[in-house]
Amino acid sequence: MEIHFEKRRMITKFLDPALNFAENERVTEIRVDPLTKQTTRLLHFPIRWAQKTDLGEIVERSLEFGCPFCPQMIDMVTPKFPTELTSKERIQRGSAVVFPNMFPYDTYSAVAIFSGEHFKPMAEFEPQLLRDGFCASQEYLTSVQASDPGAPLYHTINWNYMPLAGGTIIHPHLQIIAGSTGTNYHRRILESSAAYAAANSSSYWADLIEEETRLGERLIGKVGKTTWLVCFAPKGIIDVMAIFEGVLTISDIKESDWMDFSRGLSAAMKLLDSRGFYSLNMAIYSGQGAEHFWTHAKLVPRALLPPMNASDINYFNTLHNEVLTIFEPEQICAEAKGFIEKA
Ligand SMILES: [Zn+2]
């Protein structure tokens, strides 16, 4: 067991105008991710969180542009798969449909629509709906790997929910990507996980669950064979992680596991909604079949910071590859437990 949760407390002193210029101090906490060793800064920055935004106007405007993902449009305007990839023109599962992404991010790039509704509020995603979207996405990735017998590809399923999180189309949709070049972060976690296993003769993911269970500060709970926790060194203002226990690749996830994950995800989205968030980024990172890596997901809400609606992404993220947050993961976990228990 070699998991360390390292915190560095940096103290800044200043003469505070609010205290008639008497000396005051403030703490910046720098947390080191136990796997990647990347740092995150936890700031004690008082923000009065804004009330929920009315999304009616933005949804209406998006319909004026026309939506290619609404049910009456999909057949006419979305592409079909070439026969060498799958015998199906588009992959369907319940109300979910997967088709090629005409604006690809890598050799294999697809879009999954999983709701007939153009807009779905964050707290209203039913687990069955999410499961069908993930099952259809998985079928695409499994077809991709079967059609490309070369080296294992990097597989991910991703979601930008709402424009604030980078989604250019409001209609809920996942993006599924496979290619020979993983993203910087995906490559890093695979390499770090392999290095951990070689050094410790154990799985980082099994050790992480064991250690977080022992500490009881950030482990939200379990839904079936998925374990939910709030990351010690978040990759966004809040970072909720779901680990598929013992599952090596996305293609290995069973339908019942997808249902467990979808129940947890639906509950986590209700938690974020209760905090006034209305957009998020999500990624599911697949292993490539090696025993050391367990497939897992990360969920990060996105926000505009009051009072000026400042972006939650600034030079730290763009130019320093560093994350800032004002939310203490342990406090978020305490709140999240009630939601996951009801999943
Ligand atoms: Zn639509």
- Mean residue pLDDT across the chain: 95
Q: Which two tokens stand for residue 60?
A: 């209406």
Distance of CA 214 from the midpoint of ligand 1 (Å): 45
Amino acid at 35: L
Distance of CA 119 from the midpoint of ligand 1 (Å): 7
Distance of CA 206 from the midpoint of ligand 1 (Å): 40
- Coil, strand or helix at 225: coil
DSSP secondary structure code for residue 295 in this structure? -
Distance of CA 234 from the midpoint of ligand 1 (Å): 32
Distance of CA 77 from the midpoint of ligand 1 (Å): 12
Distance of CA 274 from the midpoint of ligand 1 (Å): 25
Is 70 exceeded by the pLDDT of residue 50? no
Distance of CA 67 from the midpoint of ligand 1 (Å): 5
Tell me the per-residue pLDDT of 108-127, one tens digit each, with 9 for 90 and over.
999 999 999 999 999 999 99
Q: Which of 32, 7, 2, 38 is nearest to 188 (CA)?
A: 38
Distance linking the first and last C-alpha atoms of the chain: 30
Distance of CA 75 from the midpoint of ligand 1 (Å): 13
Distance of CA 68 from the midpoint of ligand 1 (Å): 6
Distance of CA 317 from the midpoint of ligand 1 (Å): 31
Distance of CA 113 from the midpoint of ligand 1 (Å): 9
What gap in Å lies between CA 26 and CA 19, rounded to an integer?
14
Distance of CA 115 from the midpoint of ligand 1 (Å): 9
- Kindly report which listed range (41-50, 103-112, 157-166, 300-309) carries the lowest average pLDDT score: 41-50
Q: How many CB atoms lie within 10 A of CB 154?
A: 19
Homologous superfamily (CATH) of 69-312+327-341 is HIT-like (3.30.428.10)
Distance of CA 192 from the midpoint of ligand 1 (Å): 40
Tell me the per-residue pLDDT of 266-321, one tens digit each, with 9 for 90 and over.
999 999 999 999 999 999 999 999 999 999 999 999 999 888 889 999 999 999 99
Distance of CA 73 from the midpoint of ligand 1 (Å): 8
CA distances from 204 to 107, 276, 313 (A): 30, 33, 29
H or E element, residue 221: strand 219-223
Distance of CA 194 from the midpoint of ligand 1 (Å): 42
DSSP string, 73-125: HHHHHS----TTT-SSSSEEETTEEEEE-SS-SSSEEEEEE--SSS---GGG-
What gap in Å lies between CA 244 and CA 228, rounded to an integer?
9
Distance of CA 70 from the midpoint of ligand 1 (Å): 4
The three-state DSSP-derived secondary structure of 1-25 is CCCCCEEEEEEEEEEEHHHCCEEEE
Distance of CA 262 from the midpoint of ligand 1 (Å): 22
**Rg for the chain, CA atoms, rounded:** 21
Q: What's the angle, vertex CA 180, arms to CA 176 and CA 185, rounded to 5?
A: 70
Distance of CA 66 from the midpoint of ligand 1 (Å): 8
At 29, give phi and psi (nearest 5°): -105, 125
* pTM attached to this predicted model: 0.97
pLDDT value at position 149?
Answer: 86
Q: How many CA atoms lie within 13 A of 246 on its CB side?
A: 4
Distance of CA 296 from the midpoint of ligand 1 (Å): 29
Mean pLDDT of 183-211: 97
Domains of the chain by residue range: 69-312+327-341
Q: Is the dihedral of CA 226, 229, 233, 235 positive or negative?
A: positive
Q: What's the angle, vertex CA 213, arms to CA 292 and CA 240, rounded to 5?
A: 75
What gap in Å lies between CA 303 and CA 328, rounded to an integer?
16
